């Protein structure tokens, strides 16, 4: 402070700082005055402006990806279609007649039809109802120009399924969101009226197919026409999903399965010749044993996805979804159907018995038609039809499907000590039974491989099963029942065919793939593979000590009449069905099954008929394809299912010649199945009548019971709920699907 | 003797003279800034599938870094800053040149270094280096600035100013001019020199804006031209800038006396005010918290801040300290006035962040360091 010339205390600096202070005060006074004006004096005016702000945040709907078969054939696609919608609640006096008259003149549809759609009772009150779709652009403009009261013409994104019902259960369909969907998917930019994949690949790959919605800020005039655009984040299209399905094969499989079911419906029941077999439902699956690709998957009865996306008449709806002769058409029985595997399970029992050391493969056993459990448990288990087969070994027991042989082996297993007494359970789990296969389809069920804990859970959950003193023990009879795939054993057709595929390829249990990859459709990365499913291995079965050649010989004999040195003529259970087949050139290895099913046939009011099963693989010397055919209530596996399988094998043999060898891809580890997903009560798991919905994010698990579309609960979820702030949907050139008018799953629109 | 000496030393200890209100108010404003950052961004972030807290979290980190930087700037004796001013100035120039070549272009301005995780804006830190350099130079001239010293000062500031303009960042360039004017005024420039300088400045700006029309030379980017036109003719209805002005005023106006409620302003949640988390952050506070709980307290806080800096300038031990404070004051005052004035429609749009509130690390840290320097000067007014 000694240096006075640089001191701020000099009068001059003080004065200049004071001047700066005046500037500061002046500037802040200006700001204060202005903000006072804006927020205190003129606030009413600005608040009114904010209310009627002519700026809208608009959601640009993304274009949904396609679903393609392995050769690129389109199974699901999106297109824009012109629609005319009417909201009768906006009519004034005399408008109704005017609108009906004008729409009849413009669209050529009769007034009664338009009126019926307009007054759709299923539609939400005060909503717009779609009265015409597939409108061409000129007509659309004409309707807009005419500006009739309560009438709007718009473009709407529509999902189309060019192949109709073909592979419908694999492709799935889109429909309205279940309640709470938007809240459960924060950050996925869903609007309450966006439709989502509800089943099949559409459902499981919702996030992949959907793409990302964009936003656009636009200024609009009083009629909501876009005046100018103020900023845009474009939407990004969803990826295409490529299936492993070969559509040609799929066509053949569906045709033959349908044909087989109808033939079965013409045969009279063996149990009671007064009745014909119902044969309402069936499953056929083809997998490639070399890599686990699912080449075809058919489930009957089936449906057309467009019925659920475009709407159907109530008559159609009843005929499709409430017909007792077409039970559960939406269910994909290949992964949701739980069946007692029956004799096809003997493959597992054979491996288990050999591992447990209770059989010698070539040792002879006398099949007396039944097997009696020694005291203290007692009880007699008979062959089907009480047939007496005489001397059999492991091979012929499989070929002729001797139950007594396996009863005896199972009883021996049940008398063992320690873990060895659970040899059948262990072998079954090795083959992948008792847990989901992990195929990329929703609602897959794990099936049941029973053990004491499972038995206890079932008995506790189902009161009718309980005895008086309420004791639940695992008895030898349980193991015996299990040995022939009955009792508490249940499995999905995909599990069974996957197990046989594993046997065919030397023990590699694949996690089957029904989706091979997803492909980007974004401009700069179009065609890039965004996700690839290589062959995924869930287990490798240890066959050491297992007489694989004897088991295979037994399975090879099933479609044959074979002369054995020890047993003479050995007639396989499917020898009739495969009569005349080129066994030398393209031999088939397989097993028939005829499994009892619980319960009562609701139509006929009598005990259900047996399910027919055939599972096998071919060619014998270089296994490539495994096939399963399951036909509900259709009689013997050898009679009903094997002929269908034969036709599928024929088709495979022909089509295969146009196919390329599959790529030799590195094997990948299986993906976790059902991890972090809540467990379902056993009663739900075992109840074949409950549809399950698996949401995205827990793709291979987390089943959540959901009511069938069309029931009251589901429609409640469709009601347009509180819009929130992001409701305006405009698709710039193409006006948006408006709330509540798009057809929904189960909605009864009358056309 | 010993006692008296130690007492005197204690009396001179800087910690006794720290102006605690200044950092507390700055931190208070920045906390409100984080809240408004969240309010202005969460909805779009969530809609696009991102973490709704993303911007608020980043801003929080910036504020914390800023507080640390402020503490450091307050601890190091400001006279060391004076001695290092030439080096700081040269580093700033090097960065301003460098950014022209390897910088990242955002919104028409090439003013950012892209570093992993964030962008660095050298023109922000350059402001502080320029303040230090100008203050050190002007303070070294005895008896006020004569013409010679004035011209040297102008050249000293013109170099970074023109570099910033070359990068296309007109708003920040204006901040440099404001700093120059403020420091030169207090440094003792003759009144007639100031008048002449101002006239030259006005002529230059007029020339820059009309060069396009009159002489066919394009000196300013179209965007800037458009913004000025939108400001001069607020009823015109064509440009984005005009839209921005209008929406911003609607946001403030509809806030009214008590506001629409936090996270409940329609202008803010619907993202109708462009660049709201950066340049238009004041509108979020104005709309959602209203006049009583948003705008007025904020204005008062900024006024308090500026007033305390002015006070520090008066109390400073030496001319360098005074000019350092005046530089920081000019920087903050101009930014606050220009930014708030822009949101209220009394100033044209220019991309200048609101100190302590707008989203952005460089600007937050610069503002906090500025406060740190002022604290430093005031606390060491008796230190030797």
Whether chain A has a CB inside 8 Å of the CB on B48: the answer is: yes
Across all residues in chain B, what is the average pLDDT?
87
pLDDT attached to residue A555: 96
State the Cα–Cα distance between residues A727 and A635, nearest whole angstrom: 56
Whether chain A has a CB inside 8 Å of the CB on B319: the answer is: yes
Whether chain A has a CB inside 8 Å of the CB on B255: the answer is: yes
Whether chain A has a CB inside 8 Å of the CB on B290: the answer is: yes
pLDDT attached to residue A170: 95
For B272, the closest chain A residue by CA position comes to: A55
Judged by CB atoms closer than 8 Å, whether chains meet at B249 and A46 is answered as: yes
Cβ pair A603, A278 in contact under 8 A: yes
Residue of B243, B257, B318 with shortest CB distance to A6: B318
Whether residue B220 has pLDDT greater than 90: no
Whether residue A676 has pLDDT greater than 50: no
Judged by CB atoms closer than 8 Å, whether chains meet at A5 and B143 is answered as: yes
Locus of tokens 């949101």: B343
Coil, strand or helix at B211? helix
State the Cα–Cα distance between residues A642 and A578, nearest whole angstrom: 8
State the Cα–Cα distance between residues B197 and A731, nearest whole angstrom: 55
Q: Please state the rounded mean pLDDT for residues A654-663.
A: 90
Whether residue A459 has pLDDT greater than 70: yes
Q: A139-157: buried (b, 16+ CB within 10 Å) or exposed (e) per residue? A: bbeebeeeebebbbbbbbb
Coil, strand or helix at A43? helix
pLDDT digit string (tens) for B38-53? 999 887 787 777 888 9
Whether residue A436 has pLDDT greater than 80: yes
Could you tell me which residues come within 8 angstroms of residue A448 by beta carbon, excluding any fewer than 6 positions away? A338, A434, A454, A488, A489, A490, A685, A686
pLDDT digit string (tens) for A216-269? 777 665 555 666 677 778 888 899 999 999 999 999 999 999 999 999 999 998
Domain annotation for chain A: domains and CATH numbers:
57-243+707-718 (3.90.1310.10), 247-669 (3.40.710.10)
At A474, give phi and psi (nearest 5°).
-85, 120
Whether residue B232 has pLDDT greater than 80: no
At A465, give phi and psi (nearest 5°).
-75, -15
| CA-angle at B358, arms to B353 and B362, nearest 5° | 70
E-assigned strands of chain B? 104-106, 109-115, 118-120
Whether chain A has a CB inside 8 Å of the CB on B252: the answer is: yes
Whether chain A has a CB inside 8 Å of the CB on B335: the answer is: no
Whether chain A has a CB inside 8 Å of the CB on B321: the answer is: yes
Q: Hey, how many other C-beta atoms are within 10 angstroms of the C-beta on B209?
A: 17
Q: Please state the rounded mean pLDDT for residues B163-190.
A: 89
Whether chain A has a CB inside 8 Å of the CB on B283: the answer is: no
Judged by CB atoms closer than 8 Å, whether chains meet at B49 and A38 is answered as: no
- Using CB atoms and an 8 Å cut-off, which of residues 193-222 of chain A contact chain B? 212-213, 215, 217, 219
pLDDT attached to residue A442: 81
At A600, give phi and psi (nearest 5°).
-115, 135
User: Is-cis flag, bond preceding A301, omega within 30?
Assistant: yes
* Cα first-last separation, chain B: 20
Q: How confident is the model at residue A115 (pLDDT cuts 50, 70, 90)?
A: confident
Which of A464, A452, A514, A513 has the alpha carbon at shortest distance from A488? A452
Whether residue B264 has pLDDT greater than 80: yes
pLDDT attached to residue A714: 28
State the Cα–Cα distance between residues A506 and A500, nearest whole angstrom: 10
Whether residue B216 has pLDDT greater than 80: no
Indicate the range of A487-501, A693-707, B80-94, B326-340 predicted with least confidence.
A693-707
Whether chain B has a CB inside 8 Å of the CB on A35: the answer is: yes
Judged by CB atoms closer than 8 Å, whether chains meet at B142 and A6 is answered as: yes
For B337, the closest chain A residue by CA position comes to: A27
Q: B229-261: buried (b, 16+ CB within 10 Å) or exposed (e) per residue? A: bbbeeeeeeebbbbbbbbbbbbbbbbbbeebbe
For A728, the closest chain B residue by CA position comes to: B270
Highest mean pLDDT range out of A176-185, A300-309, A635-644, A724-733? A635-644
**B202: exposed, middle or buried (C-beta count within 10 Å: 0-12, 13-18, 19+)?**
exposed
Judged by CB atoms closer than 8 Å, whether chains meet at B48 and A21 is answered as: no
State the Cα–Cα distance between residues A443 and A436, nearest whole angstrom: 10
% of chain A surpassing 90 pLDDT: 43
**A453: exposed, middle or buried (C-beta count within 10 Å: 0-12, 13-18, 19+)?**
exposed
Coil, strand or helix at B290? helix
User: Is-cis flag, bond preceding A733, omega within 30?
Assistant: no
State the Cα–Cα distance between residues B44 and A189, nearest whole angstrom: 10
pLDDT digit string (tens) for B322-357? 999 999 999 999 999 999 999 998 988 888 999 999
% of chain B surpassing 90 pLDDT: 54
Highest mean pLDDT range out of A114-118, A188-192, A398-402? A398-402
For A726, the closest chain B residue by CA position comes to: B270
Q: What distance in Å separates residue B361's CA from the closest CA in chain A?
A: 25
Q: What distance in Å separates residue A731's CA from the closest CA in chain B?
A: 18
Coil, strand or helix at A100? helix
Q: Which secondary-structure segment (H or E) carries A684?
A: helix A682-686
Q: What distance in Å separates residue B98's CA from the closest CA in chain A?
A: 32
Whether residue A6 has pLDDT greater than 70: no
Q: What distance in Å separates residue B232's CA from the closest CA in chain A?
A: 17
% of chain A surpassing 70 pLDDT: 82
Whether chain A has a CB inside 8 Å of the CB on B97: the answer is: no
State the Cα–Cα distance between residues B312 and B371, nearest whole angstrom: 11
Whether residue A499 has pLDDT greater than 70: yes
Interface predicted TM-score (ipTM) of this complex, two decimals: 0.94
DSSP state, residue A435: S
State the Cα–Cα distance between residues A693 and A206, nearest whole angstrom: 13
Could you tell me which residues come within 8 angstroms of residue A234 by beta carbon, excluding any fewer than 6 positions away? A60, A214
pLDDT digit string (tens) for A713-741? 222 222 222 222 222 222 223 333 332 32
Q: What distance in Å separates residue B252's CA from the closest CA in chain A?
A: 6
Residues of chain B contacting residue A54, judged by C-beta atoms under 8 Å apart? none
Q: Please state the rounded mean pLDDT for residues A276-293.
A: 94
Q: What distance in Å separates residue A27's CA from the closest CA in chain B?
A: 7
User: Is-cis flag, bond preceding A376, omega within 30?
Assistant: yes
Whether chain B has a CB inside 8 Å of the CB on A675: the answer is: no
pLDDT attached to residue A48: 81
Judged by CB atoms closer than 8 Å, whether chains meet at B182 and A35 is answered as: no
Across all residues in chain A, what is the average pLDDT?
81
Radius of gyration of chain B (CA): 21
Judged by CB atoms closer than 8 Å, whether chains meet at A43 and B329 is answered as: no
Q: Please state the rounded mean pLDDT for residues A186-210.
A: 81
Whether residue A343 has pLDDT greater than 60: yes
Radius of gyration of chain A (CA): 33
Q: Please state the rounded mean pLDDT for residues B268-280.
A: 81
Q: Hey, how many other C-beta atoms are within 10 angstroms of the C-beta on B328?
A: 30
pLDDT attached to residue A731: 29
State the Cα–Cα distance between residues A388 and A369, nearest whole angstrom: 4
More confident residue, B233 or B65: B65
pLDDT attached to residue B15: 84
Q: A310-324: buried (b, 16+ CB within 10 Å) or exposed (e) per residue? A: bbbeeebbeebbeee
Q: Which of B82, B138, B254 to mutate to test the interface with A (most CBs of A within 10 A)?
A: B254
DSSP state, residue A8: T
pLDDT digit string (tens) for A385-434? 888 999 999 999 999 999 999 999 999 999 999 899 999 999 999 999 99
Judged by CB atoms closer than 8 Å, whether chains meet at B257 and A217 is answered as: no
Judged by CB atoms closer than 8 Å, whether chains meet at A55 and B247 is answered as: yes
Whether chain A has a CB inside 8 Å of the CB on B143: the answer is: yes
Q: Please state the rounded mean pLDDT for residues B62-88.
A: 95
Q: How confident is the model at residue A162 (pLDDT cuts 50, 70, 90)?
A: very high
Q: What distance in Å separates residue A234's CA from the closest CA in chain B?
A: 11
Q: What distance in Å separates residue B20's CA from the closest CA in chain A?
A: 21
Coil, strand or helix at B348? coil
Cβ pair A528, A658 in contact under 8 A: no
Q: What distance in Å separates residue A37's CA from the closest CA in chain B?
A: 8
pLDDT attached to residue B34: 95
For B186, the closest chain A residue by CA position comes to: A16
State the Cα–Cα distance between residues A273 and A214, nearest whole angstrom: 64
- DSSP per residue over A485-535, as a string? T-TT-BB-HHHHHHHHHHHHTTSEEEE-BSEEEEE--SGGGTT-EEEE---
State the Cα–Cα distance between residues A500 and A289, nearest whole angstrom: 9
More confident residue, A134 or A620: A620
pLDDT attached to residue A53: 66
Instruction: Compute the CA torsion angle B347, B351, B354, B360 (nearest 10 deg).
Output: 170
pLDDT attached to residue A423: 95
Coil, strand or helix at A665? coil
Cβ pair B44, B271 in contact under 8 A: yes
Q: How confident is the model at residue B239 (pLDDT cuts 50, 70, 90)?
A: low
Cβ pair B344, B244 in contact under 8 A: no
Q: What distance in Å separates residue B74's CA from the closest CA in chain A?
A: 21
pLDDT attached to residue A706: 30
pLDDT digit string (tens) for A52-91? 666 667 777 788 999 999 999 999 998 888 888 888 877 8
Q: Hey, how many other C-beta atoms are within 10 angstroms of the C-beta on B17?
A: 16
A-B C-beta contacts closer than 8 Å:
165
Judged by CB atoms closer than 8 Å, whether chains meet at A725 and B269 is answered as: yes
Whether residue A700 has pLDDT greater than 80: no
pLDDT attached to residue A443: 80
Residue of B144, B299, B322 with shortest CB distance to A35: B299
Which of A165, A128, A85, A130 has the alpha carbon at shortest distance from A310? A130
pLDDT attached to residue A4: 40
Which of A437, A235, A470, A196 has the alpha carbon at shortest distance from A332? A437
């Amino acid at each position: 402070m000694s240096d006075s010339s640089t001191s701020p205390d000099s009068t001059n600096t003080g004065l200049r700082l004071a001047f700066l202070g005046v500037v500061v005060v002046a500037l802040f006074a200006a700001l204060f005055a202005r903000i006072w004006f804006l927020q205190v004096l003129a606030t009413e005016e600005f608040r009114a402006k904010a209310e009627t702000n002519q700026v809208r945040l608009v959601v640009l709907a993304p274009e949904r990806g396609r679903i393609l078969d392995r050769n690129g054939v389109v199974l699901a696609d999106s297109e824009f279609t012109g629609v005319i919608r009417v909201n009768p609640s906006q009519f004034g006096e005399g408008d109704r007649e005017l609108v009906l008259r004008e729409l009849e003149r413009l669209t050529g549809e009769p007034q009664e039809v338009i009126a019926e759609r307009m007054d759709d009772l299923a539609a939400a009150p005060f909503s717009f109802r779609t009265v015409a779709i597939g409108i061409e652009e000129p007509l659309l403009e004409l309707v807009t120009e005419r500006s009739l009261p309560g009438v709007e013409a718009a473009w709407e994104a529509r999902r189309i399924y060019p192949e109709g019902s073909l592979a419908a259960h694999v492709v799935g369909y889109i429909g309205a969101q279940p309640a709470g969907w938007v809240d459960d998917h924060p950050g996925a930019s869903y609007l309450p009226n966006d439709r989502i994949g509800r089943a099949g690949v559409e459902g499981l790959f919702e996030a992949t197919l959907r793409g990302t919605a964009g936003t656009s800020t636009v200024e609009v005039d009083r009629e909501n026409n876009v005046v100018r655009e103020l900023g845009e984040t474009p939407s990004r299209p969803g990826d295409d999903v490529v299936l492993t399905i070969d559509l040609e094969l799929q066509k053949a499989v569906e045709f033959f399965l349908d044909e087989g079911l109808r033939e079965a419906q013409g045969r009279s029941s063996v149990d009671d010749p007064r009745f014909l077999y119902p044969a309402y439902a069936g499953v056929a699956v083809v997998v490639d044993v070399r890599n686990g690709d699912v080449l075809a998957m058919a489930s009957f009865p089936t449906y057309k996805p467009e019925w659920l996306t475009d709407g159907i008449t109530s008559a159609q709806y009843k005929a499709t979804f409430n017909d007792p002769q077409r039970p559960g058409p939406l269910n994909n029985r290949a992964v949701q159907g739980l069946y007692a595997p029956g004799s096809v399970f003997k493959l597992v029992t054979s491996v288990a018995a050999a591992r447990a050391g209770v059989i010698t493969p070539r040792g002879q056993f006398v099949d007396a038609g039944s097997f009696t459990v020694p005291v203290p448990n007692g009880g007699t288990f008979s062959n089907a039809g009480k047939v007496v087969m005489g001397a059999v070994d492991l091979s012929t027991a499989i070929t002729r499907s001797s139950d007594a042989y396996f009863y005896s082996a199972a009883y021996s297993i049940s008398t063992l000590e320690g873990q060895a007494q659970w040899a059948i359970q262990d072998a079954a789990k090795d083959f992948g039974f008792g847990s989901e296969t992990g195929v990329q389809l929703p609602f897959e069920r794990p099936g049941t491989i029973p053990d004491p804990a499972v038995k206890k859970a079932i008995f506790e959950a189902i009161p009718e099963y309980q005895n008086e003193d309420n004791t639940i023990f695992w008895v030898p009879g349980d193991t015996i029942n299990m040995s022939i795939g009955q009792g508490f054993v249940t499995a999905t057709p995909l599990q069974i065919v996957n197990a046989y595929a594993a046997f065919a390829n030397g023990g590699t249990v694949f996690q089957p793939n029904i989706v091979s990859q997803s492909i980007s459709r974004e401009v700069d990365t179009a065609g890039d593979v965004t996700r690839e499913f290589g062959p995924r291995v869930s287990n490798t079965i240890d066959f050491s000590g297992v007489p694989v050649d004897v088991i295979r010989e037994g399975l090879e004999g099933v479609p044959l009449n074979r002369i054995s040195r020890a047993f003479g003529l050995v007639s396989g259970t499917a020898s009739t069905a495969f009569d005349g087949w080129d066994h030398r050139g393209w031999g088939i290895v397989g097993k028939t099954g005829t499994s009892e099913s619980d319960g009562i046939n609701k139509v006929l009011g009598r005990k259900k008929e047996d399910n027919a099963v055939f599972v096998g693989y071919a060619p014998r010397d270089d296994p490539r394809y495994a096939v399963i055919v399951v036909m509900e209530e259709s009689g013997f596996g050898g009679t009903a299912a094997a002929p269908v399988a034969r036709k599928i094998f024929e088709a495979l043999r022909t089509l295969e010649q146009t196919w390329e060898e599959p790529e030799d891809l590195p094997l990948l580890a299986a993906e976790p199945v059902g991890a972090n997903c809540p467990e379902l009560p056993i009663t739900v798991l075992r109840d074949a009548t409950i549809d399950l919905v698996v949401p995205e994010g827990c793709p291979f698990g987390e089943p959540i019971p959901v009511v069938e579309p069309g029931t009251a609960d589901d429609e409640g979820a469709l009601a347009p709920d509180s819009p929130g702030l992001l409701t305006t949907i405009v698709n710039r050139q193409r006006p948006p699907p408006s709330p509540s008018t798009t057809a929904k799953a189960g909605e009864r629109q009358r056309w | 003797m010993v006692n008296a000496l130690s007492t005197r030393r204690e009396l001179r200890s800087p910690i006794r003279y720290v102006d605690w209100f200044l950092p507390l108010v700055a931190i208070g404003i920045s906390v409100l800034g984080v809240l408004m950052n969240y309010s202005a961004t969460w909805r779009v972030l969530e809609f696009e599938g991102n973490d709704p807290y993303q911007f608020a979290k980043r801003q929080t980190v910036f504020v914390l870094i800023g507080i640390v930087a402020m503490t450091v700037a307050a601890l190091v004796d400001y006279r060391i800053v004076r001695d290092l001013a030439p080096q700081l100035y040269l580093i700033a120039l090097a960065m301003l040149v460098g950014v022209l070549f390897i910088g990242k272009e955002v919104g028409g301005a090439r003013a950012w270094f892209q570093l992993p995780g964030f962008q660095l804006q050298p023109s922000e830190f350059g402001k502080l280096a320029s303040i230090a350099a100008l203050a050190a130079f002007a303070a070294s001239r005895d008896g006020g600035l004569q013409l010679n010293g004035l011209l040297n000062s102008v050249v000293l500031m013109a170099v970074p100013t023109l570099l910033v303009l070359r990068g296309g960042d007109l708003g920040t360039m204006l901040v440099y001019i404001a700093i120059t004017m403020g420091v030169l005024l207090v440094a003792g420039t003759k009144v007639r020199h100031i008048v002449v300088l101002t006239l030259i400045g006005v002529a230059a700006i007029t020339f820059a804006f009309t060069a396009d029309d009159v002489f066919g030379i394009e000196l300013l980017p179209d965007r800037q031209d458009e913004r000025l036109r939108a400001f001069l003719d607020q009823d015109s209805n064509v440009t984005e800038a005009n839209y921005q002005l209008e929406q911003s005023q609607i946001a403030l106006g509809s806030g009214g006396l008590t506001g629409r409620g936090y996270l409940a302003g329609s202008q803010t949640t619907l993202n109708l005010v462009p660049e709201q988390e950066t340049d238009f952050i004041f509108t979020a506070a104005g709309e959602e918290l209203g006049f009583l709980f948003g705008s007025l307290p904020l204005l008062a806080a900024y006024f308090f801040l500026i007033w305390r800096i002015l006070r520090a300038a008066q109390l400073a031990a030496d001319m360098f300290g005074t000019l350092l404070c005046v530089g920081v004051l000019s920087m903050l005052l101009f930014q606050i006035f220009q930014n708030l004035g822009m949101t209220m429609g009394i100033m044209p749009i220019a991309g200048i962040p609101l100190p302590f509130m707008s989203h952005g690390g460089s600007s937050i840290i610069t503002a906090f360091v500025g406060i740190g320097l002022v604290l430093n000067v005031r606390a060491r007014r008796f230190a030797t």
